[in-house]
Structure 1
Amino acid sequence: MIYRRKVFSKKYLAVFLISFFVLNAIGGQEKAGSISDSKVKVGKKKRKRKIKLPTVDLSHWKVTIPEGKGKGGAISVRPPEILDYANNEVLKPFMYNDSVSGALVFHAYPTNATTANTKYSRTELREQMEPGNDNVNWTFAQEGYLKAKMAMGDVSRAENGKYHKVIIAQIHGRLTNEQRESIGQKDNNAPPILKIYWQNGKIRVKTKVLKYAGVDQKGILYKEAWTDDKGKNFEQEVGFRKFTIEVKVTDGKMVVSLNKNEFFVYDNASIKRWGVFENYFKVGNYFQTRDKGAYASVKLFELDVEH
């Protein structure tokens, strides 16, 4: 009996020790596994995105939106009210911040609220050299420079499958009060000497040319004296990526560039005679369709103007 008891005790002790070490090993693995899992879980936690707000200086710009009382009645918001655009309930559907990309977004779709002399809608900035005043502008002799970093946001397609086109920047002409009176025109509107389009992923440039080179100094003031050139595309396709447009005008010359890589130079007879007009820059979303259900959003990241 004594012998058997000793044998049993040794077996029991051996089993106990083996069980103890096995259980501890398993427990250690479970603990290690739980720590590893927690690290994985922590690693999988979504990082908070940093809020990016646009830094575009709007103190010398007014905005026109496709909201208002019909044709010619589109609403415009000038400085200083435009500076608080993020809290302006009228502007919010058309001009707002994209806090992910850090862009100022201009949204537009066809409405009955258009500006004079056009059937298309726009959410577009208009330069004001003197804040709040449309009557102070510049000539080519005074020179002008614009740099805009932009990107196309969402845009609808036409029935042919191509994206709807948008004018994203312009140099618009303007008559002085004396010029307006001399030709009996009811407003100060003159043709746009420059229109820059986003068209199916490409940047397209169009300018005005004289229909008749020998027109006199009074005749040149009429809109009918001018027509669009054939236009041309930059080779690079920008698609929905960021791109930078630069426009530099001097007396009798205009240079338009894309991403500092491609350049169009205009120094023809028509440009040289354009000096008779005043001008102002425009940037944003001038939507070029009346198709039902169409829409477009243009992103603006940087905007600089010099004179």
Structure 2
Amino acid sequence: MTSFLKYKLSVIVIILVSVNVSCQTTRHGTDTKIKKEKSKKKKVKLSKIDLSYWKVTIPEGTGKGGAISVEPPEILNYATNKTLKPYMYNDSTKGALTFYAYPTSATTANTKYSRSELREQMVPGDDNTNWTFKQGGSLKAKLAVDEVSRDENGKYHKIIILQIHGRLTNEQRDLIGQKDNNAPPVLKIYWQNGKVRVKTKKLKYAGANSIGILHEEAWTDDEGFNFEEEVGFRKFQIEVKVSDGKMVVSLNKTEFAVYDDFNMKRWGIFENYFKAGNYFQSRDEGSFAKVSFYELEVNH
């Protein structure tokens, strides 16, 4: 075999080996890329909040007093309910239950503001079974305000994120001749410009009798209490504990607002229920808010 032929054969062998190595490297590189792409896919996280004892009201319906509400057991299928989806849905990247609200004509009977908000039902599907301060109750919630619009002065719009709402029994309603069972909310917890603010009720006249205090007009807002910590758009934890004549609200287990005066003792005449979600406090055009709940638990 001539030297020239040996040279040609060597070149061919080198080329074939190079091509084979190149193909292996390319396949290996492609496999690695696919694995990396798969690893980048985020895991789906579903909310673990039990809605068996809650109904929801959303800002859709037939005008004032006609906002749509969905009770158990229908609320348990909220993820596939086309009516609820725009206002109450799973954020599967966070594992949170998100409430969206904006101004609409569909409000509840005693307010001008829209809400995407849960209402506690001790008996699923029944608004007539509630609790008193003497019976007591507690609420724990972990949540975050995701987005909220600003007003013309550049301040974020306010949101009520948690409440304890009062309710007249049927007998109390009939006694004072009121058309419905509505009583004032003894507790409103606001998200306001990145801080948490608490407002409660106090009697206008301390000497009001047991019939007089059933009227909403007998009560007014207190001056309010601001927690020092700025929560901004981060997660935070609220706990509310109610007992006979006393109410305690805490933020992240480090700050506490304690109410144990005669107003709380007189409030014991009412029934109550917890509320949680996004009760949006604006009618400005184009305004909106999103609030996500990661945990929500009530005990009695």
TM norm. shorter chain > 0.5: yes
Query: 1:55 maps to what in 2?
Result: 48
Where do 1:1-307 residues align within 5 Å?
34=26, 37-38=29-30, 41-42=33-34, 44-47=36-39, 48-307=41-300
Question: Which letter maps to 2:241?
Answer: K
Q: Deviations over 1:170-206 (max 9, x none)?
A: 0000111111122221111010000011112111111
Structure 1 residues 273, 43: CA separation in 2 closer, same or farther (over 3 Å shift)?
same
Structure 1 residues 276, 99: CA separation in 2 closer, same or farther (over 3 Å shift)?
same
* In structure 2, distance between residues paired with 1:214 and 1:26: 98
Question: Secondary structure, in 3 states, of the residue corresponding to 2:59?
Answer: strand
CA-CA distance at 1:17 after TM superposition: 10
Q: Deviations over 1:271-292 (max 9, x none)?
A: 1211011000000110000000
Aligned residues: 299
* In structure 2, distance between residues paired with 1:85 and 1:28: 56
Query: 1:4 maps to what in 2?
Result: none
Q: Identity across aligned pairs (percent)?
A: 67
Question: Secondary structure, in 3 states, of the residue corresponding to 1:181?
Answer: helix
TM-score, normalized by length of structure 1?
0.89
* In structure 1, distance between residues paired with 2:118 and 2:290: 14
Q: Deviations over 1:48-84 (max 9, x none)?
A: 2211111111111111111111111111111111111
Question: Which letter maps to 2:242?
Answer: V
Task: Provide the aligned C-alpha RMSD in A.
Answer: 2.2
Greater displacement, 181-190 / 248-257:
181-190
CA-CA distance at 1:262 after TM superposition: 1.3
Contact 2:225 2:257 in 1 (8 A): no
In structure 1, list runs of 5 or more residues that go unmatched. 1-8
